[in-house]
Chain A
Amino acid sequence: EAAVTQSPRNKVTVTGGNVTLSCRQTNSHNYMYWYRQDTGHGLRLIHYSYGAGNLQIGDVPDGYKATRTTQEDFFLLLELASPSQTSLYFCASSDQDTQYFGPGTRLLVL
């Protein structure tokens, strides 16, 4: 069974705050993804990576940085958080067929 974990599960910060969301997968998958989910928009791709040190820009990258430090670990960075980034964030890994999702992180930016 694929295993993708995310931390923290919930986070509250203030406008201008610095937030790091973590994702780890133990599936030896090359691809990892960060999405945000908002009512009316479904899941939207922020950034993705096909291996350690690689980063690809997704569809809604503004205000986000990401870093893939190892094959297992993919981080999403919000350096100056804004209320518009309040959302449910999902990480996923892929073997090029099926995507396996983490449990999600709820972020509230006040």
Chain B
Amino acid sequence: GQQVQQSPASLVLQEGENAELQCNFSTSLNSMQWFYQRPGGSLVSLFYNPSGTKHSGRLTSTTVIKERRSSLHISSSQTTDSGTYLCALERTNTNKVVFGTGTRLQVLP
């Protein structure tokens, strides 16, 4: 089965609204990362967050290992936040990274 599940699959917001994206995983992990994929396709690393909470501007990532989940919070969304957000985990005792299928975010003006 799918080791990494993201929700929601898609989300539409009005500019200024907040978003909470979820990543649930069914396997033990060494690390958790969040990526942003631009509509043109390139991927940008947002957070490397194996546990706890990290902040970067309007973005907050929280990973709770024992609950097997990670979240990405976007506050005061902007149209330039539109794109796909991917979570990825590195499985324990390997260097293999498994990606979720992503949340497609559209922020309307």
Which residues in A have some Cβ–Cβ distance to B below 8 Å?
31, 33, 35, 40-45, 48, 50, 56, 58-59, 88, 90, 94, 96-101, 103-104, 106
Contacts and interface: CB of A to CB of B under 8 A. Distances in A.
Given A50-B95, A88-B41, A97 B48 contact: yes
Interface string B32-75: 01010000011111001000000000000000000000000000
Query: Mostly helix, strand, loop or mixed at chain A's interface?
Result: strand
Given A56-B95, A101-B42, A104-B41, 19 more contacts: A31-B95, A35-B99, A42-B100, A42-B101, A42-B102, A45-B97, A45-B98, A48-B96, A59-B96, A88-B41, A94-B95, A97-B31, A98-B33, A99-B33, A99-B45, A103-B41, A103-B42, A104-B42, A106-B41
A87 to B, nearest CB: 12
Interface residues of B, number: 19
